[in-house]
Every structure is written in C-alpha cells, then in structure tokens.
Structure 1
Amino acid sequence: MHRRGFFAWSLGMAGFLAGCGTERVTGGTTVIRTEYAINPGGPRWADVAQAFADAARAAGYRTGGGRPITVTGLPELAAAQLNNGQSLFNAATPLSRLIGDVEVVVVPAGSPFKSFDDFGAQLLAQPGRTPLAGGPQGEPDHLLFGLIAKGLGADTRQVDYTGYPSSGEAGVALLGGKAAAAAGLFTDWRTGIGSGRVRVLAVSSAARIPDLEDVPTLLECGVRVDFSDWVAAFGPIDMTDEGRESAIRMCEEVTASPGWRAACRAAGWISAPLSGDDFGTWLGSEAERTRAVLRDLGLIDTTRSTTCWVGCRNGH
C-alpha cells in the first residue's frame, strides 16, 4: 500500500509560530497584515506553493515566517483514506482550494481506439483485459479510471491497472504495449501529445480546455465525471476562529489577484478558488467520493468504520 511520510513536517510545527504583523500603507491608512509561512506538503506541491507565496508577496503579504499554511492536494486525501486516517487531513484546518490540474485519457498514436466511445466499449465489455496505466495505485490517475469504469457501468474491481512512479514510466509502458490506455495530468503528457506519439481521447474537466479544444470531456462522452487533481491551502488544526478567518481572507485576496491568475496560466493550471465553509463542504463531498472509488477498486476495507475527516464535527 502506498504511503506518504513527507507531509508531516509542514503542519507538524508547534501550533502557530509567532504571527508577526506587517504594515501596509494604503491611502494614508495603515493596514496590519499577518505574516505567513507557506510551505508545500511534499515535493509534488512545491511549484504551487511557490507560486502562491509569490502572489501573496505581490499582494502585500510577507511570507517565510509567521503562521504556517500548508499546500497539498488530492493524493494526500487519498493517502488518508488508504492509511486509515493517518495523514495531514487529521491535523489540518481547510482554508481554500487553489487550483485544479486537468487529467487526460491517452492512447498510443496507432491505437485501435479511435475515440473514447471505442475505448469505453472495450472497458465495459472486458475490464480485466483492458490494461491501464498511470501514477501509483490509489492516486488521482487510478481514481480517474475507477470513476470512468463506474460511470460506464463496468465491474470496477476487475479493472486491470498498473501504477508507475512517474508519468514518464507510464508513458514507456503505454508506448511499449504494456497498456491500452493511460491517464495523467495534461501538463505531464503535453510533450507526447505535441509530438504525435499519443492521442487524447478525453479530458477530465467539465469544460474543454483551450489547448485541446477538439477533445471532448468525459461528460460529453456520456460519463458523469468532472475530475481534477486539485491543490488547496490548509492551516494547523488548532487555528483560532480569528486566525482562520484572517487566513481565508488572505487566500481569497491572493487567488483573485492578477499575479495569481498569470501564474496559473503560465503553469497550465486551472485557477479554482473556493474558500471557507464552502470549501469545507466541498472537501467533505470529495472525501466521500474518494473513499467510494477506493472501495469500488478494492483498495480499502468495506467493513471499516467511518473515519472523521477534516473539520468533522459529527462525533465519529
């Protein structure tokens, strides 16, 4: 079972560090701003955390010290489910969703699947004989194929999926004939798509994306799936109400800024801001969806009792 050990350092800081106030003079009025230490929950989120910290500084905030904010995402939520709650998500306060990274379903250029309908028909008829590839088991690529199989009505537990440590290795498997199709981030597959070595059958987002305007969404293909490898900002579990509200305001200001939107465009991310209670509600639904697909794939015990996730106050 795939586990993560690199996220604990970030929110494992002893509560709040001293929250230094910083001054900004606007129209003759001095505004006191809180200083934040924005850190990634692991190497895979380093670019987003850096872009967010840069945009925060451009918006007038000081970063590098002060109140800790950790940037992490969907793989960590899946890890929490797989590891029976032993994750950052049991020691975090949800603040704001930041981005969504679009996934693509790809096949080799010479694949007999000319469209997603061709692939879907094969997966529905023979899920155990349609080898699939992507990132490690239980992570977003695997989740996406699980959702696709369920949306098609296929036997999800029969899905033949092999996880690889990187998109490069998944690409080698795909082009080497070890997989009929693969899933992964569009940003990771962009080079292979541009070279013509692979073709995109569908994108995971609700709407078509600018760089692949001729490629249908899964929704357009009749599969009720709107999916992205999202990234969000979290604070420590022991945040005060005042501290939480201050951090949420900072997130809202930064994600609405021109600098943040420009950074997202440059990196190929979809800016997907959602903050506060709305984000908490959405995150609860996302946790339930993730748990359900992991269960359908046979990766977690269906008899296991409910685990209380981020911000849960149901007394589980």
Structure 2
Amino acid sequence: MRRRRFLAAGLGVAACVAGCGDRSAVRVAGAYEIHAAGEQWVRVAEAFTRTARGAGYPVGGAGPVSTLTLIGLPALAAAELNAAESPLHGVTPLARLAGEVEVVLVAQNSRFTAFDAFGARLRADPAGTPLAGGPQGTPDHLLFGLIAQGLGADTRQVNYTGYPGADEAAGALLAGRADAATGPLAGWRPYIDRGWVRVLAVSCADRFPGLDAPSLLESGVRVDFANWCAAVGPGDMPAAARDAAVGMCEEVAGSPGWRQACREGGWTPIPLGGDRFAAWAASETRRTRAVLRDLGLLGSGKGTT
C-alpha cells in the first residue's frame, strides 16, 4: 500500500513554562494552566481544570505557573504518519487521565451473531471483510489493525474505509457496504440505543457497565485499547515541579469528582502516573508504530525505538 500523508494541524504541544517547589508549595504559591493540544481534548481539559480546582489546587489563578498540556493517541499516530516529532518527545510525561472506550459493531441483521464469528471471517479473509470507522490512521483504524494482529490475520490485507465521523460510518454499515465498524462508544450510543446496531465487543480490558458485550480479551484477542489522553509538562521541568504535578494529576484523576466528570463527558478514567506512565507511553508508541507499519501506512525504514 502506498504510504499516505496525513496532516496533523493543531496537534503540536504548546510551549510550557515550568514552576518549582514541592507539592505543598505548589498548592499555596503556584498555579497550573491546563491546555489541550488538539480540539478533541478541550472538554477533557476543562473538566480536569474544574475537578482540580474542586480538590483545592490553584488552576488558572495568579502566581508562578506550571503549564500542563493534554495530548493523546491521535496526535501520536499523526506524528508517526507524517514522520514528525512525537508529541511525547521533549516533554515531561506526567499522567494518563482518561480515554474513550471503543466498540466493534455490526448491523442489527448481520450474520455475525457474536465476535467469534466475525473474528473467524476476518482471520480467513481480511480483504473480503469490509470494515468502517474514522479516517485512516486514527484510533478506529488502529483498533482494527490490532484486532487483526491478535487474530493472526494478514494485517496488510485489512479492507478498511475511513469516514469523517460515526454518522457516515453508520451509513456504510447499515447500507451493507461494511461488515463491521468500530468507533468510540459515546459516538455510537444513538445507534446502539435505537437497536440499529449490535456491539460485538468492547476494547477495554473488562466488560463495560451497562453494555451486554464481551471485552476483546474475553473474546480471545489480547488487546486492551482506548483513545487515551494524558498530561505532559515542559521538557525542562524541574524534578520538584514534576513530582508536584504528578501528585496533583494522580490525586485528581483518582478522585470521585473525576469519575463523575468522566461519566458526564462520556470518557473512562484510566489513571496512571509518574514513571509507570512514562514506561507505558514508550510501550504505546512502539505498539502504535508497529500496527501502522503492519497496516501498510508506514515504511519499513521508520525507527524502532
């Protein structure tokens, strides 16, 4: 497959100014500014700001400022596709905050009554199993690539058509132009609730509350996936400021207030902070690069670090 060029406008990491001091000093004398790198995470940044304020942290106030930026999987994938600098390069990883759970769906009258039947078909004939979702190279496409990998299918033969949004992908699915689709659960809720589509599996590790569908792991596919977003600081962030920011993110992301904000926003809290998040982010970068390459969207010359 010829490599496609993808634009990543607006996905760059904003310039940051670091604060200093231990956590208690930041609570009293410092302040945080939280920005979103990309329109998709603006509502998450606003909700996190409100929740942090409710927890007693000075966010958006006066005083020395540590600017935190929310980035996510789409920016990581776009950078890989454009041979651009990763949004995780030159920054200080702080914490993963939340993500969008994705679903694998079929039309209500589909011959695939369960994921096992769909998986068997995709494994046997990936080129003859048309799939739909968001634009190529986005998390929806990545998820089908990961599913194909997990099934042992020929990933380069995956027959995927990208659409601008869930409405267009749903149109293809309901018209029979696609055998299955994937996308964020929140975006597909209207079609699920109306009974027009059925969920074969969810991308998170466990079953999703209120949804009668197995996880991919439960279905025998070793994939735990979300369209995640995370907070990073500037690359030159002093250690004390980094530790204070990690502590703030971990406290807020683990709070009942954040869980409530995520329920209202249609996100899933997936907190992971500090060194554990940094290690996970490196692993996620490798996984994203590998699946893009297997889908034929990256040349073999891209680095492996």
TM-score (norm 2): 0.91
Q: Which position in structure 1 is the counterpart of 2:7? A: 3
CA drift at 1:47: 1.3
SS in 1 for 2:71: strand
Evaluate the alpha carbon distance shift between residue 137 and residue 33 of structure 1 in structure 2; reply closer, same or farther with a 3 A threshold. farther
Separation (CA, whole Å) in 2 of partners of 1:33 and 1:249 = 16
Evaluate the alpha carbon distance shift between residue 110 and residue 263 of structure 1 in structure 2; reply closer, same or farther with a 3 A threshold. same
Q: How does 1:1-316 map to 2 (within 5 A)?
A: 1-8=5-12, 11=14, 13=15, 15-16=16-17, 19=19, 32-64=28-60, 66-212=65-211, 214-306=212-304
Q: Deviations over 1:234-291 (max 9, x none)?
A: 1112212122112111111211222112111222322111111110011111111111
Q: What residue ranges of structure 2 are gaps of 5+ in the alignment?
A: none
Equivalent residues of 2:122, 2:153 under 8 A apart: yes
RMSD: 2.1
Separation (CA, whole Å) in 2 of partners of 1:181 and 1:32 = 52
Evaluate the alpha carbon distance shift between residue 284 and residue 20 of structure 1 in structure 2; reply closer, same or farther with a 3 A threshold. closer
Separation (CA, whole Å) in 2 of partners of 1:227 and 1:252 = 21
How many correspondences in the alignment?
A: 297
Separation (CA, whole Å) in 1 of partners of 2:60 and 2:294 = 42
Letter in 2 for 1:37: E
Separation (CA, whole Å) in 1 of partners of 2:20 and 2:59 = 10
TM-score (norm 1): 0.88
Separation (CA, whole Å) in 1 of partners of 2:192 and 2:40 = 22
CA drift at 1:33: 4.6
Letter in 2 for 1:274: L
Evaluate the alpha carbon distance shift between residue 221 and residue 258 of structure 1 in structure 2; reply closer, same or farther with a 3 A threshold. closer
Q: Which position in structure 2 is the counterpart of 1:313? A: none
Evaluate the alpha carbon distance shift between residue 30 and residue 160 of structure 1 in structure 2; reply closer, same or farther with a 3 A threshold. closer
SS in 2 for 1:151: helix
CA drift at 1:31: 5.4
CA drift at 1:30: 11
Separation (CA, whole Å) in 2 of partners of 1:31 and 1:76 = 31
Letter in 1 for 2:57: Y
Separation (CA, whole Å) in 2 of partners of 1:118 and 1:61 = 50
SS in 1 for 2:219: coil
Equivalent residues of 2:252, 2:258 under 8 A apart: yes
CA drift at 1:105: 0.3
Equivalent residues of 1:34, 1:61 under 8 A apart: no
**Structure number with higher relative contact order (C-alpha < 8 Å, ≥ 6 residues apart):** 2
Separation (CA, whole Å) in 1 of partners of 2:191 and 2:185 = 10
CA drift at 1:134: 0.6
CA drift at 1:100: 2.5
Evaluate the alpha carbon distance shift between residue 101 and residue 166 of structure 1 in structure 2; reply closer, same or farther with a 3 A threshold. same
Q: Deviations over 1:197-254 (max 9, x none)?
A: 1110111111001121x21111111111111111111111221212211211111121
Letter in 1 for 2:129: T
SS in 2 for 1:289: helix
CA drift at 1:152: 1.0
Q: Percent identity?
A: 55
CA drift at 1:20: 9.7
Separation (CA, whole Å) in 2 of partners of 1:58 and 1:31 = 12
Q: What residue ranges of structure 1 are gaps of 5+ in the alignment?
A: 308-316
SS in 2 for 1:222: coil
CA drift at 1:2: 2.0
CA drift at 1:122: 1.1
Equivalent residues of 1:80, 1:89 under 8 A apart: no
Separation (CA, whole Å) in 2 of partners of 1:287 and 1:305 = 11
Separation (CA, whole Å) in 1 of partners of 2:194 and 2:26 = 54
Letter in 2 for 1:142: H
SS in 2 for 1:279: helix
CA drift at 1:87: 4.0
